[in-house]
Chains A and B, each alone.
Chain A
Amino acid sequence: MSLGDSSTELGKVRGLGSAHEGGDHWISERVTSLALLVLGVWLIASLLFLPTLDYATVREWLRSPLGAVPMALFVITSFYHGLEGLKVVVDDYVHEPGNNFALNTLLLFVAVGGAAFALFALGRIAFGGAA
């Protein structure tokens, strides 16, 4: 959210919580939550409807477009939403600027690294040879 000089006093402080910025973050957290509502229910339902959870069955499912694509979206969205959520917790409880920056940076690295590993694994399943 851009805050121009013509904003009212209330408009200027809106979205400025303990992080001192973050209107966009607040919206994004909610938009990703809606995506995860759909994708999370999809994941649980998909696992339930697979005939078995053995290696070949699960791989075949994740090699199909309707398995691989929503799973990629789930990985990206869940890591992003988790990072956003933990950032709020860090900003609420860690006030010292140096520690706050260090923890948020660590969170960012772990989240991006974890998502990269998960996507690499998914790509290897989806684009690799048959099991």
Chain B
Amino acid sequence: MTVSILHRITGGALTVAGLAVLTWWLLSLASGNEAYGDFSAIAGTWVGLVVLIGLTWAFFQHLLSGVRHLVMDTGANFELGPNKTFALLTIIGSVVLTAALWFYILGVVK
């Protein structure tokens, strides 16, 4: 239940906010050094980081629950126990991947 609605919420967020950020990022890169500097500066503020980290989590959560849906499309994993375990694993997986990625980015690059 929870993971199913999370799939919709993260999908909606990735489409609306994620694609807006992607398009803004590409347009700033196309517009010149100054525009890209503005984008980078805003992305580096704490609000920017919260949005980017949120989008990263949404991406991993949507990816993992998407794989879960593909598995269920084959008719597999409908038993209550394993189904619940897989659902829980998508949440643990998305949090771990997001944390690992951002610890790496904030620790190594900056």
Contact = CB atoms under 8 A, between A and B. Distances in A.
Interface residues of A, number: 31
Nearest to B37: A55
A82 B62 CA distance: 12
Interface residues on B, range: 20 to 34
Interface in A91-130: 114, 117-118, 120-122, 124-125, 128
Contacts, number: 72
B66 A118 contact: no
A82 B59 contact: no
Secondary structure call for the A interface:
helix
Interface string A22-37: 0000000010011001
A59 B29 contact: yes
A86 interface: yes
A20 B14 CA distance: 26
Interface of A: 30, 33-34, 37, 40, 44, 48, 52-53, 55, 58-59, 62, 75, 78-79, 82-83, 85-86, 89, 114, 117-118, 120-122, 124-125, 128, 131
Q: Give 8 closest A-B pairs by Cβ, nearest first.
A: A82-B15, A121-B26, A121-B30, A124-B30, A118-B23, A121-B27, A55-B36, A85-B11
